[in-house]
Structure formats: C-alpha cells, structure tokens
Amino acid sequence: MSNTEGRTDGRRARGVDKRESILDAAANLIGRVGYAAASTRAVAGAADVPLSLVHYHFGSRAGLLTAVLERENDRLLERQRELFSGDGTLADRWRAAAAYFEEDLASGYVRMLWELWAAGLCDPELAERWRVSVDGWVALIEETIDTWAREHGRPLPLPAHSLANMVAIVYHGLETHILADQGQDLRGHRELLAAIGDCIERFEKA
C-alpha cells in the first residue's frame, strides 16, 4: 500500500469515528433533553467538534436526528432478530423481548422514536422515517408469528400481520403513557407484558 493510500484510509477512518462520535452525542442529548433542545450547535458542543462538521456529515438537524434513529433502530432490530430466531418457546421469547423494554426506555431510544414522530407532525419527511422504523418492528414480529405457526402447524386466532400490529399498538400505548409521566411506577406496565406472555404460553400449550 502506498503512503497516499495509507493517508486516505486514515482520514476515512477518522471521518467514520467523528461521525459516530457525533451520533453518540446526539443520541445522549436527545434522550436527556429532547429534540427541541438538541440543536446542531448543542450536539457539536457535546461531541467536541466544530459545528461545520455536524452539517458536513448530516446536513441539518432533521438529518442528524434521522441518522441517530436509523442507527439505534438497526441495532435494536438486529438484537431482536437474534432473540426471535433463537431456541425456546414463543412465550419465552416474548418474555425475553419484554425484558428489554425498560432497557430501551433508559437508553433514550423510545424517547427518540417519539420525538421524531412529534417533529414529524410538521415535517412529512421525518414522519416517513418514523413509519419506516416502526414498520421494521411490525415486519419482524409478523415474520416471527408466521414462522412459529407454520413450524407448529397451528392456526392463528388472527392473521399474523394483525397480531403484529396489535403488539405494536400495545407497545406504543405503553411508551406514550410512560413518556407522559416519567416518574410513574412501572409495575402495571410490567404486569401487562407478563400477562400477554402468560396468554401466549396458554395458547402454545392448548
């Protein structure tokens, strides 16, 4: 490899590192103070980079938030794919997935998701990115349910797509309820997710 190629690769690696640092800072800031207060200037300060570098990589605050959501969403979807493709009953996998719920709340991911939707009420492009993120989760749940039903030769009470949307609606309701009152006790939410797991288990054993 020539010296020129080495310098180019080094600059590219540093560019990737800077971009990831900006995304890390933005995710942390949005999770703590929300989209409205997470300006590109505030993110640049938190990442300790020039403001021009934020705009170079992301173009605008909307572009930055979209990139943060896409990165975090891809990470969590991959985590869930590994979980749902693993061994164990469907009820076991539901309970394992439900156990991640509070982790995703604490990480700021849930707030980012709904911050994007709130901003999307006035910005169709942001709203579309929110829908794409949510559709990825619905598709994964639908695939998991459909695969389970085919492997076990079991008829479903509703089409897999409808059941997947019901799961998404349950989580959306829990998320918005919690975000509206972040100091509340989460026991009721845990009990609801546990009860759904019990229903799945009874259906599997029937």
| CATH (domain of 24) | 1.10.10.60
CA distance 109 to 72: 7
Mean pLDDT of the chain: 86
Q: Give the pLDDT of residue 3.
A: 60
Tens-digit pLDDT profile for residues 2-31: 565 554 455 555 667 899 999 999 988 887
DSSP letter for 37, please: T
Counting beta carbons within 10 angstroms of the beta carbon of residue 149, is it exposed (0 to 12), middle (13 to 18) or buried (19 or more)? middle
Q: Are residues 39 and 77 in the same domain?
A: no
Q: Are 194 and 98 in contact (CB under 8 A)?
A: yes
Q: Are residues 92 and 147 in the same domain?
A: yes
Does residue 64 lie within any of the structural domains?
no
* % the chain with pLDDT above 90: 43
Could you tell me the pTM of the whole model? Answer: 0.79
Question: Has residue 182 got a pLDDT over 80?
Answer: no
Query: Residue 30 sits in which domain range?
Result: 1-59
* Token pair listed for 117: 């939707």
Q: Are residues 183 and 84 in the same domain?
A: yes
Q: What's the total number of domains in the chain? A: 2
Which domain CATH number covers 191? 1.10.357.10
Q: Measuring CA to CA, which residue among 108, 106, 103, 110 is closest to residue 130?
A: 110
Q: Are 4 and 86 in contact (CB under 8 A)?
A: no
CA distance 51 to 59: 11
Taking every pair of C-alpha atoms in the chain, what is the biggest distance, in angstroms? 68
Q: Are residues 18 and 79 in the same domain?
A: no
CA distance 45 to 175: 30
CA distance 3 to 130: 44
Q: Give the pLDDT of residue 102.
A: 85
CA distance 108 to 74: 15
Q: Are residues 88 and 52 in the same domain?
A: no
Tens-digit pLDDT profile for residues 80-135: 999 988 888 999 999 999 999 888 888 778 887 787 778 778 888 778 888 888 89
